[in-house]
Structure 1
């Protein structure tokens, strides 16, 4: 089969019409990581009959225990279809071993570091090849963390990033027991007995997560942990990121609290940084939760239009909501993410 890319082998594995939308599913085999078996699924949503009209690209990254259906339901609902119908060129990425991306040989040991260093750069390169405009990137939860890591590590070219929006994403919540080395060692021994964390069994979502992600998180939150890998300090590197950034938190989110989401935003070094907390005290209909902030009827009515406004204007301050602009940072903090 002829490749859909000159960068690396890419197969078009699906081309369907979903009502007023067109859906193209690509499978990328970038061959840029130590595990040559890695393949990545990438779904593009467009308007049926107007596929040749490429709007500004928007890339959506789902969180942990999730897949493309977080953004795009089988019935054609979700933020992905909403933005496609608004004229954006929408791409939904699924990391190795998730959704339509098959499990790679080294699936058990997959880490955010692999997504950051290998997967996102390959996805970004292919999207830019198909649509050479600077892309907006949106990530929910772990998707936002992955995006922050790729920017802080310098793996995504800032010149090709129009803006970044992080929803319920943070790395600063402290788990004090993990600061005790015996507790961390014990947790590693316990988790090391498993290959995956079951999303269904834990009631966290439809996907499993490789145990490598859990072990990586233990390292981040350990006594001398930092948000990064052995080569680069992603946390410190965020101070060099100059793209516009929006951080959205949910007042009812107990998993990723607003203060921690705000702290991640503060670490970015650009002048254009805005923070929005979805809660009744700020004019919203309720205190949104971790998932409900993007997947709910209230989100459709109250949040999705704000996302579109951000993508078109690069700011929410004129949208009549209580968004908070942060002052530009002076210098780079060396503070570890778990501090």
Structure 2
């Protein structure tokens, strides 16, 4: 199989992209300030509510195929990992609501040339969500289609969102499916069942450089205890912090293993760089395992750990190796949006902004 070689000219930004991103940042700053007035502390403008902060290890195995042995995966090694599980809303909501879940993975002690010239850390961040493709093609689509949704979601109460989600789900099940239609993807995330977060598969959604190639990533459960949780419905009586409680209860008795898998790009005609909504065909290039991530028994949500994960840590897929530099319009948007949000949150909370050098920096 022939894989696309990475080139600097694979990306083709719109001429007005920076101005578009400026407008998005302004709206999200307004959401940040509104959340601060409500909660009396700064929140992320996405992934505001965490459900667990985990300490683990990522292992790159020996014997990867040459096209997979790239960047931080080029050499067999084991790295400490800090991971944060979250919901993607920019406000604190009940875990009973349907929606997208998020995963931030911070790999520690990764040497190499950095994606950002002023980045002096030695961490590699991967940010992943539970929808395989991004909901909007590029920054322009996010501004025109995504921002009205983001504005509304920052203001609607849980009860209204629950009612709207149930109505959309009913419409999708009883009307649209009968005529071979489905709700738009940006509404489809509110139709999917609310299932156990530890059984979810997470995706990078947008592409990144993969050494000499280009790839998308996924993270999926493989040990029996977590594969058994795939599709397991969250009990409607489990409360507003159901995901947190499920994670704490699970890791009180069990360990968990996940695989990180890469899907290499073969052709930008069928696997575009700039349009993040287009599915990359698995038949052309399947996801293949490049590492395992293991979490042992632990308490993932002590008060000190929660404070460290929510107030001190920041996750940004641009914080990492140049060999894994994010690609495409959505990732260029995230570069500036995540930085602006992190700066605001740390400033108003008067919290240190630190990149851990050792997993022991994560409180017990």
**Which of the five TM-score ranges fits, normalised by the shorter chain?**
under 0.3
TM-score, normalised to structure 1, is 0.28
Q: Which is bigger in relative contact order (C-alpha 8 A, separation at least 6)?
A: 2
TM-score (structure 2 length as normaliser)? 0.26
